[in-house]
Amino acid sequence: MQALARYRDRIDQLDRKLVELLNERTAIVEEIGRTKREAALPIYEPKREMQVFANITSHNRGPLTHEGLQRIFERIIDEMRKVQKDRMAQETQG
């Protein structure tokens, strides 16, 4: 049971790091959204998403599969796109 508690503690620590990194990524995405708005560019860029997937899978050494990793990043990208849309709407209104 002590080993299980140690593993769970490590998972909790990693989860906190993931949250920190996701929030850092989100801040950058907000800046990208501002830049896109100023340049009248679309939020959705399928070519860029393919580049992201190629980048993450080329650096994946497992045990997570490339497909599993891509599914996770699809969700992350969906949330980032929502952040951009929401931020752009707020800045347009305010």
The enclosing domain of 53 has a CATH number of: 1.20.59.10
- What's residue 94's pLDDT? 66
pLDDT digits (tens, 9 = 90+) for 1-30: 999 999 999 999 999 999 999 999 999 999
- What's residue 23's pLDDT? 97
Structure tokens at 44: 């959705």
Boundaries of domain holding 25:
2-93
Q: Is residue 41 helix, strand or coil?
A: coil
Decide if pLDDT at 32 tops 70: yes
pLDDT digits (tens, 9 = 90+) for 39-81: 999 999 999 999 999 999 999 999 999 999 999 999 999 999 9
Total structural domains in the chain? 1
